[in-house]
Structure 1
Amino acid sequence: MSILSALVLGDRENIDPEIKSEFANSGAIHILAVSGLHVGIIYFVFSFLLKFLKTHRKGRLARLFILLAIIWIYAFITGLSPSVQRAATMFSFIAIGENINRQNNIYNTLAASAFLLLLVNPNLLFEVGFQLSYAAVLSIVFFQPMIYHTIYISNWWLDKIWGLLTVSLAAQVGVSPLSIFYFHQFPVYFWLTNLFAIPLTTLIIYTAFLLLTLSFIPFIGKAIAFLLHILVKALLASVWAVNTVPGAVIPNISFTAPMLLTSFLVIIFLTLFIIRKQRIFLQLILVSFIILAGITTINKYRILTQREIVFFHVPRKTLIAAVHGKNIVWISSEDSIITRQKMGIYMKPFEQLHGIKSSVIIPLSGKSAQQFPFLKKKNNMINFAGMKIWSPEKAEITEFMPPTDLIYLHKIYRKDITKFEAKESLVAQFVTNTPLFSDKRSEKEEKSDMLPKNIHSLPDKGALSANILISDKNKKSGIKIGYITH
């Protein structure tokens, strides 16, 4: 039911995370998102069923309005995601063009649909779904015919398989840079997955709508439901089979914005070379590859030499990341199992972005049995690459504090802040979770509660939940200190 809800209605909330991960790793996650495939099936099915209305002028107009209504009702039911908006707008243009006997140019249709959507909501340009959707369709339209006609296959079945394969290859040309940039992984066997997944998905959608139409007939409804059950099981089995192949996905790819832009330059110059057959574009492709290789080398050096400690804003929890090259130590207020389960949404993207290969979780409180060359922890004192971090469990700040470079506190009382006044060399910056001065208080009350000059308040509209005190000595440590809010 959860798979069917995703395939037909775009509702992925009830899908098991493990199954969703299998679809992502096999390169079939796009199937679970309602897109041009689904809207196209809806359009062609009802276009065929309403074909009899094309014989009369008023009938053609009625057919157009019915088709447009069905397309957009389905788009609204599925949640109006960017990919659905793109597909619904494109098929609306196709329906209108067909009704007035005008041949559709796919590039004009793509441009018109994008222009119309951005006119209504310019922020769609920054939606990942919008970018991936248009990149995939544009790439398929341009590259698929070229790839397909490179090989002539006389056998009908092999020709259909080759056609599916070329669609997958063409889509990946435009989508891969964006996909790696946003998700930091690459499904190696995407071409193999789509050979099974796309035909099965098409059959599932047709059968699902057939079930919705004929479910009131007892025997036929049960027979269609049984067939649908087999098709969904077959889809899951094919995705699982691809995932079991060694090296099905390349994870934790560190892909920066300059690398993304350079990759698109390669694709643009390749396109121009295919169209115009001029040597200059081939030379520009080679130059782009050299630039990309240089950026990749610099990025690898950055990863190997990165030294960073980051404090995460996790509600009612503590999560600290100590990054040293390709290694990361997570310091958490929860045990390792709960941390992975509940805080994985913060941890996985961070590890992928930083190209992490080795990850370990240690407790925030008490002693840690695990020690690392770059990080040692004893009770509330953390030594990270020579930088001393003190994280007391209690909120109270006493006059006695160990020599430290950075203090991390879960809570802090206003009366305790003034105790840092005599320690000008210790405190350079103060970050708090709430504004220190309320609008309801008088100016006299605010002045009496002023902070010492060496402490600076940087409230972020209540978004920050931790209190961090950073000393001047950190500027010489070479360690980057960051804060991430959700």
Structure 2
Amino acid sequence: LFFNPNLLFDIGFQLSYSAVLAIVYFQPKIAGLIYVKNRWLRWAWELAAVSLAAQLGTAPFSVFYFHQFPNYFLLSNFVVIPAATLILYAAVALFVFSPVPYVNVAVAFVLKWILKIMYACIVWIEHLPYSLSIVWIDGWQLLSLYAALFAVMWWLDKKSFISFATVVCLLLIFFVVDARNRYYSARLNGVVAYNDYKATVLDIIGDEHIVLTTDSLRAELLGADFWSKNALPTPQIVSLDTISECAFVKDGNRYLVLTDNYFRYKKSAKPLEVDYLLVGKAVYPNQRLIKEFVRPKYLIALADVSERNVQKYKLLTEKENIDFYSVGHSGAWINGFHY
């Protein structure tokens, strides 16, 4: 830290040191809660105490950075911790015996199978029902949790009323902030066009959560953090690859999404009146589109629209007195959100 203070903000550094500090302080106290006579049961309990102590130290950081909590961490640690010890010994043995024919092959074979078995067990645990909980906390909640953890250490040492009251107050702050965040999340309502040139992703949030996209994997990658932060349910994914246009009404506003030139050579006696027209890269900008076939109040060029076409849309909308927004230029388009 003296030579590189920025390490203090490195995720690996934070997780490593919080785990070590928590194990050093909490593991003896947790292990001392239950006295076990049987040798093997005592080993299992001490291993569980290590896992619980490490989780106490790292859980707030893990949830803050990765937005998930491993529900079966005790089970997985019963596999990983012994396996890690065996892997360490086997790796050292492989290094020592690497010049020795046959022996090096045997050690490498053992090391390979330890790794395979450990990986298979972890994958099995990962696929168990409810193996992960999606959780999101903000910076204030992270600070309140670690402050509460230090207050717990103070209380365990002093057993004073002030230390206990401090723990309660800090946890109360955590839950008040959580309640506030959930209150605002429950009132989220609107449409988001994500800024991603590789795919069209429209997030429709309200009583139902629907995502219109040309790439479901990109949609999940882009939206995962936003969805977990706002405690949104898993969305219904609707593919735009099989349809040339999509129309929907949201809070009295009419939306039309165009992904190709379906309207370019069509005729209409009267233009379709919409509030928001969202166009993708395959839609050719021309005056007929926004004058003869669709009459929008706002035109939104999605992130995959080329710079050349953005400039064309800008000129056309200025001429027709239509409000214009470019996702590629101005970032994600967010409409209708209110608290």
Shorter-chain TM-score range: 0.7 to 0.9
Tell me, yes or no, if the aligned pair for 2:145 and 2:174 is still in contact at 8 Å: yes
Which residue does 2:278 correspond to in 1?
390
Structure number with greater CO (CA < 8 Å, separation at least 6) is 2
Tell me, yes or no, if the aligned pair for 1:187 and 1:249 is still in contact at 8 Å: yes
Select 1:330's aligned residue among 196, 200, 211: 211
Which residue does 2:8 correspond to in 1?
125
TM-score, normalization by structure 2: 0.78
Which residue does 1:112 correspond to in 2?
none
Shift in alpha-carbon separation, 1:414–1:367, aligned structure 2, 3 A: closer
What does 1:83-482 align with in structure 2 at a 5 Å threshold? 117=1, 119-251=2-134, 253-315=135-197, 317-325=198-206, 327-334=208-215, 339-340=216-217, 344-359=220-235, 360-363=237-240, 366-368=244-246, 380=258, 388-391=276-279, 393-398=282-287, 400=291, 402-409=295-302, 410-411=305-306, 412-414=309-311, 417-421=314-318, 426-427=322-323, 433=329, 477-478=336-337
Per-residue deviation, residues 369-412 of structure 1 (Å, max 9, x unmatched): 9x79779865529xxxx963432542525262523345224133
Per-residue deviation, residues 160-210 of structure 1 (Å, max 9, x unmatched): 222221111111112111111111111111112112211111101211231
Q: Which runs of 5+ in 1 are unaligned?
A: 1-116, 434-457, 459-463, 481-486
DSSP 3-state at the match of 2:301: strand
In structure 2, C-alpha distance between the alignment counterparts of 1:180 and 1:418, rounded to whole Å = 47
CA drift at 1:126: 2.3
Q: Which of 219-228 and 179-188 deviates more? A: 219-228
Which residue does 2:271 correspond to in 1?
none
Tell me, yes or no, if the aligned pair for 1:180 and 1:255 is still in contact at 8 Å: yes
Q: Which runs of 5+ in 2 are unaligned?
A: 260-273
DSSP 3-state at the match of 1:404: strand
In structure 1, C-alpha distance between the alignment counterparts of 2:338 and 2:184, rounded to whole Å = 13
CA drift at 1:284: 2.2
In structure 1, C-alpha distance between the alignment counterparts of 2:103 and 2:93, rounded to whole Å = 10
Tell me, yes or no, if the aligned pair for 1:306 and 1:323 is still in contact at 8 Å: no
Amino acid at match of 1:164: L
Per-residue deviation, residues 66-99 of structure 1 (Å, max 9, x unmatched): xxxxxxxxxxxxxxxxxxxxxxxxxxxxxxxxxx
Tell me, yes or no, if the aligned pair for 1:263 and 1:292 is still in contact at 8 Å: yes
TM-score, normalization by structure 1: 0.57
Amino acid at match of 1:351: W
Per-residue deviation, residues 93-125 of structure 1 (Å, max 9, x unmatched): xxxxxxxxxxxxxxxxxxxxxxxx2x3223322
Which residue does 1:33 correspond to in 2?
none
Amino acid at match of 1:162: W
In structure 2, C-alpha distance between the alignment counterparts of 1:395 and 1:126, rounded to whole Å = 47
DSSP 3-state at the match of 2:85: helix
Shift in alpha-carbon separation, 1:244–1:183, aligned structure 2, 3 A: same
Shift in alpha-carbon separation, 1:120–1:348, aligned structure 2, 3 A: same
In structure 2, C-alpha distance between the alignment counterparts of 1:138 and 1:326, rounded to whole Å = 45
DSSP 3-state at the match of 1:152: coil
DSSP 3-state at the match of 2:297: coil
Tell me, yes or no, if the aligned pair for 2:20 and 2:54 is still in contact at 8 Å: yes
Tell me, yes or no, if the aligned pair for 1:329 and 1:362 is still in contact at 8 Å: no
CA drift at 1:354: 2.9
Tell me, yes or no, if the aligned pair for 1:303 and 1:355 is still in contact at 8 Å: yes
Shift in alpha-carbon separation, 1:231–1:344, aligned structure 2, 3 A: same
Q: Which of 242-251 and 270-279 deviates more? A: 242-251
Between the two proteins, the alignment pairs up a number of residues equal to 313
CA drift at 1:224: 1.7
Which residue does 1:80 correspond to in 2?
none
Which residue does 2:266 correspond to in 1?
none
Tell me, yes or no, if the aligned pair for 2:190 and 2:205 is still in contact at 8 Å: yes
In structure 2, C-alpha distance between the alignment counterparts of 1:179 and 1:326, rounded to whole Å = 30
Amino acid at match of 2:226: F
Tell me, yes or no, if the aligned pair for 1:312 and 1:319 is still in contact at 8 Å: yes
DSSP 3-state at the match of 1:318: coil
In structure 2, C-alpha distance between the alignment counterparts of 1:366 and 1:259, rounded to whole Å = 45
Per-residue deviation, residues 301-347 of structure 1 (Å, max 9, x unmatched): 222211244343434x233242414854333234xxxx32x564334
Amino acid at match of 1:225: A
Q: CA RMSD in A?
A: 3.3
CA drift at 1:353: 2.5
CA drift at 1:235: 1.0
Q: Which of 206-215 and 160-169 deviates more? A: 206-215
